[in-house]
Amino acid sequence: MKVGTTRAQEEYDVHGNTFPFIDGEANFILEPGEIIATGFMNGYADGSGNGEGSTIVYNWQGDQLDEIWFTGAPTAEGSGMVQEGLPPIPGDNTYTNVFRNYQFNIGFSVRDPLCIDHLVTDNTLPSGYYSAGLTITSAGSVDSAGNVIFQTHDHVLLGAGFEAPASTTFEVRVGEDQGCVTRTYNQSQ
């Protein structure tokens, strides 16, 4: 879990807010099978500062309402909390039968492949896609039963100690276009 920068209620205007997830650059790596899910609190990450109502506009009427995980309490002592790298910590009361439509939009960009010229891998390589604009040099080993793809424009150098056991899939692609491609997505909720 990643925790963004706290935004106070007085920073919000109805239908007119654009905030970055954090103040500064936010970079996340999603592993295969991981998903992006959103959440927000009516207080600080440690559960303090909670107040009346929601800072994000919502309604509870209509046919297409989303089921939400709603936790907390009327006081800060019973509020839920979030901490980076851990699952949310529920508050005194948790409801899973609350249905609402929140009105917000999320934008993000995906960079594929990573914009680097020379990639060096000397450790155990978990399953994944490894790419570089010019070269990949590796003395590492593919995880047992792993699935590893090296893709580069010029060449791949496999050093002493590189290992791909018989139960693994290891593929090298050379000469394919390695230009940096950025795709931008916007999701409305």
Q: How far is CA 71 from the centre of its chain?
A: 22
**157 and 84 Cβ atoms separated by less than 8 Å:** no
pLDDT at 6 (0 to 100):
72
pLDDT at 177 (0 to 100):
55
> What global pTM score does this model have?
0.45
pLDDT tens column, 141-165? 998 888 888 888 788 999 988 999 8
Q: How far apart are CA 154 and CA 173, in angstroms?
A: 10
pLDDT at 54 (0 to 100):
64
Q: Mark the ranges of the chain whose per-residue pLDDT is less than 50.
A: 113, 180-183, 187-189
Query: If DSSP codes are grouped into helix, strand and coil, which group holds residue 70?
Result: strand
